[in-house]
Amino acid sequence: MKKNENRGAALVVDEGPDRFSVWQEALVERGFNFHGVASPDEAVPMADQHYFDLMFVRETIAGRPTDELLARLLDMMPESVATVLADDESVDRAVRAMRLGAFNYIRAPRRKEEALGPLEEALEYRRLRRDGALRRRQLNQKYDVDNIVGASQAMQDVFRLIHKVARADSTVLILGESGTGKELVARAIHHQSRRADRPLVPVNCGAIPEDLLESELFGHEKGAFTGAIKTRAGRFELAEGGTIFLDEVGDMSPQLQVKLLRVLQEHQFERVGGGKTIDADIRVLAATNRDLREMVATGRFREDLYYRLNVVPIRVPPLRQRRSDIPLLCGHFIQRLSRQKGLEPRTIHPEVMGRLMRYAWPGNVRELENMLERMCILADGEVIGLDDLPVRLAALEPGPPPDEPERPAEHQLPLDGLDFNEAVDSFERALIVQALERTNWVKNQAAALLRLNRTTLVEKIKKKGIKCDE
């Protein structure tokens, strides 16, 4: 390894700085950015702000087991290689750590020399995964398209697009409301792509303060600003050769939009406070719950960046537009809760399922998963009944049958009326764009979906100025 070559970041969760020093020297010598926390309560916020290639987690801190912390960290960063540190070795506890996803379980080292062996083992394991077979097998089992639950036509359309775009190296813009599963789509694309043996580095642009996001993405040089006590690699460097997933990209400031545009156009960037140009061999996947076209029209998002990001758009439908998937999702989540959290398997009373099918689900799939977990915990019997429902669902008035299509909110007549011709034109345009996207812009197939002849469809596309990048 070249001197000072960056090999990623490592997190140590242990009982204090005196314990950190054992790992810090060894990790820094091998080119890792070191982060240490003495409290499990600090670890998750740290993981929200940083991506870690390696993690070393003390089995108990202040008498509290860290099992839940380890599971949470590995759920956030499934590609990370985790080692559990114990005061004394135990076969039973080692097996439990492995089941949670840890790679290794060792007696905590007291000197740097004792840490070198376990560190090399973790690095070798990471190399093996990146070489292909082991890592691809493990991660594809979790994030393969077949494991994104959905039998509805809307989700089958999403699956087809995932399979198509995964083979290419194009930028993808994943659109959808919060809680619809945009990150799962991004992971499925990455793990079916030629970059699957390289890192997938997620960044939530809306969760990181604006004044820190630039440094987080592009890194910084020592002394670049107050508090920059050492040079630090950013997420783009950590994703080298792999994929970076920019969630909530619509929250990015105009200044950062310019820098992101340059990465997409020239595949180059500089660290904050640095003059050296760094090449970036990465694929960019972006997601947003905002209307970027409306933001472009109002000057809040750069038009040129929008077109660079929107090479291939994938729209993930809200749960209320794929209600037929709710029973499948319920079964999937209940099974997973039973397996991962030891909750008793439950069945759902048909009357309860009817309420679930009629509910609007403003929080989408994430809200459904959280609600099911709460009901599985609180239910007294094997069957989840009406008494186990939250008040807002229990009080739900009888509605249309589950198979009755929902009328989109934008097609309801406002109290103060509307311009009829403009509304019809807007609806017609939306149907044409949807048909084109569903058929990958094959006009013959889109015309067949709309029961139009191809010539009529082509004329309407020209008249309305519809372009492929919509």
Same domain, 310 and 207: yes
Query: Which region among 36-45, 90-99, 273-282, 365-374 has the lowest average model confidence (pLDDT)?
Result: 90-99
Q: 350-358 vs 326-341: helix axis angle to the nearest 10?
A: 110
Statement to judge: residues 313 and 335 lie in one domain: no
User: What pLDDT does 146 receive?
Assistant: 57
Work out the average pLDDT over 220-244: 84
Residue 154 · residue 177 · CB < 8 Å: no
Query: 357 and 383: one domain?
Result: yes
CA atoms of 446 and 431, how far apart (whole Å): 10
Q: Which domain holds residue 100?
A: 9-130
Does residue 18 or residue 217 have the better pLDDT? Answer: 217
Domain CATH for 456 = 1.10.10
pLDDT at 83: 93
Residue 245 and residue 243: Cα distance in Å, rounded? 7
CATH number of the domain at 375, please. 1.10.8.60
Would 402 be classed as within a structural domain?
Answer: no
pLDDT of residue 4: 43
The CATH number that applies at residue 194 is: 3.40.50.300
User: Which region among 104-118, 161-175, 392-406, 424-438 has the lowest average model confidence (pLDDT)?
Assistant: 392-406
Please tell me the predicted confidence (pLDDT) of residue 101. Answer: 85
Place of tokens 């399979």: 163
Q: Is residue 470 part of a domain?
A: no
Q: Examine the domain organization and report whether 347 and 287 are in the same domain.
A: no
In this predicted structure, what is the pLDDT of residue 262?
A: 94
Whether 259 and 154 share a structural domain: yes
Least confident of 63-77, 243-257, 335-349, 434-448: 434-448
> Which tens digits make up the pLDDT trace of 379-401?
888 899 989 998 888 877 655 43
Claim to verify: residue 313 and residue 233 sit in the same structural domain: yes
Please tell me the predicted confidence (pLDDT) of residue 2: 44
In a domain, 404, yes or no: no
Give the mean model confidence (pLDDT) for residues 340-368. 87
> pLDDT averaged over the chain?
83
CB atoms inside a 10 Å sphere around CB 420: 9
Q: Same domain, yes or no, for 294 and 357? A: no
DSSP strands (E only) in 59-123: 60-61, 64-65, 81-86, 104-107
Q: Is residue 401 part of a domain?
A: no
**Residue 4 within a domain:** no
Q: Are 318 and 364 in contact (CB under 8 A)?
A: yes
Res. 303: pLDDT tops 90: yes
- Which pLDDT value is given to residue 3? 43
The residue out of 130, 156, 180 marking a domain boundary is 130
| pLDDT (0 to 100) of residue 247 | 96
pLDDT tens-digit map of 247-270: 999 999 999 999 999 999 999 998
pLDDT of residue 468: 62
Match 């094959």 to its residue by tokens. 442
Cα–Cα–Cα angle for 336, 371, 383, rounded to 5 degrees: 70
Instruction: Name the domain boundary from 336, 371, 394.
Output: 394
The total number of structural domains that make up the chain = 4
Question: What single letter denotes the amino acid at residue 318?
Answer: P
**Which whole number is the average pLDDT over 139-165?**
76
195/243 Cα distance (integer angstroms): 7
Could you tell me if residue 96 is inside a domain?
A: yes
Q: What is the pLDDT of residue 58?
A: 92
Per residue in 204-213, pLDDT tens?
Answer: 999 898 888 9
- 62 and 117 co-located in one domain: yes
pLDDT at 398: 52
Residues 243, 180 share a domain: yes
- 79 and 124 part of one domain: yes
pLDDT at 193 over 80: yes
Displacement of CA 35 from its chain's centroid (Å): 23
Q: Please say which residue of 130, 151, 178 terminates a domain.
A: 130
Is residue 399 assigned to a domain? Answer: no
Give the residue-averaged pLDDT of 86-91.
Answer: 80
More confident call, 442 vs 325: 325
> Phi/psi of residue 214, each to 5°?
-60, -45
Q: Who has greater pLDDT, 82 or 423?
A: 82
- The CATH number of the domain where 38 resides is what? 3.40.50.2300
CA dihedral for 96, 99, 101, 105, sign (positive or negative): positive
Burial of residue 414 (number of CB atoms within 10 Å: 0-12, 13-18, 19+): exposed
- Position 345 scores a pLDDT of 81
Same domain, 344 and 198: no
For residue 292, the model assigns a pLDDT of: 93
Q: Are residues 63 and 180 in the same domain?
A: no
| pLDDT mean over 52-66 | 89
Note the pLDDT of residue 7.
67
On whether residue 135 sits in a domain, the answer given is no
**pLDDT at position 179:** 94
The model's confidence at residue 417, banded by pLDDT at 50, 70 and 90, is low
